[in-house]
Amino acid sequence: MKLLYAEDERSMSEAVVDILTFHKYRVDAVYDGEEALYYAQNEEYDGIILDIMMPKMDGMEVLRRLRADGCKTPILLLTAKSEVDDQVSGLNSGADDYLPKPFSTKILLARVAAMLRRREEFTPSVLQFGSITLNQQTYELSGNGQTVILPKIEYQLMELLMLNTERYFSTEDLLCKIWGYDTETDLGTVWVYISYLRKRLVALNADVSICAKRNLGYRLEKTK
């Protein structure tokens, strides 16, 4: 599961990221509201944790803008213990839950897990495009009566393309979204994994393919 965590207090951010990472979450940490909004609008996350008090743009404004843009990603607000008005305002603005500061590790993990469970209740576990389906629980890519279990990177790449069939992704986009902004992986690795997935689609006799368009990038398209 991939989370976005926005908190301007660096020491607290580092501590929370360590906790979440230890419990097998992937976390992008940002330190102001503008960064939080940018990442949330340009990345795919399973959940977002927003502190209300942040520089440049507060967490409440980030929340409002995301919901106004149609973002349905679950959002957990971090609030000061006494700020009841913020808690009510946050819930009314579209937050899924709030967590008063200070909080214990157990409470944090419980709230995050609950937030993600609610997401799963409303997220289809099987994606479909053309003749192929992708099971988000088992990593199975299926088509025309055949099934293959994708390795993790291939699954993440195929899921991203199937969730965004109207959008082109540049090689740089795919590198950042799948391997992360700080990766030392080179662009050639992206091309290799695109090649792997193209071969799998051919083996499934799928009516879709990963098409490339100059100056735009890659996307899934129906071919029949």
Question: Taking the domains of the chain in order of start, what are their residue ranges?
Answer: 2-122, 126-222
d(CA 115, CA 147): 31
pLDDT digits (tens, 9 = 90+) for 89-109: 656 667 788 888 888 888 889
Mean predicted confidence (pLDDT) in 147-164: 92
Answer whether residue 70 shows pLDDT above 90: no
Q: Are 142 and 201 in contact (CB under 8 A)?
A: no
User: β-strand 2-6 against 47-51: which pairing, if any?
Assistant: parallel
For 56, what's the count of Cα atoms within 13 Å in the CB-facing half-sphere?
13
Confidence of residue 161 (pLDDT cuts 50, 70, 90): very high
Q: Does domain 2-122 have CATH number 1.10.3720.10?
A: no
What pLDDT, on a 0 to 100 scale, did the predictor assign at position 35? Answer: 92
Cβ neighbours for 84, distance < 8 A, ≥ 6 positions apart: none
Give 123's pLDDT tier (boundaries 50, 70, 90).
low
State the pTM of this model.
0.55
Domain 126-222 grouped into CATH 3.30.70.980: no
Residues 179 and 175: their CA atoms lie apart, in Å, by: 5
Which stretches within the chain are classed as H helix?
10-22, 33-42, 59-68, 84-92, 105-122, 152-163, 171-174, 187-203
Predicted pLDDT at 31: 93
- Cβ 43 vs Cβ 60: under 8 Å: no
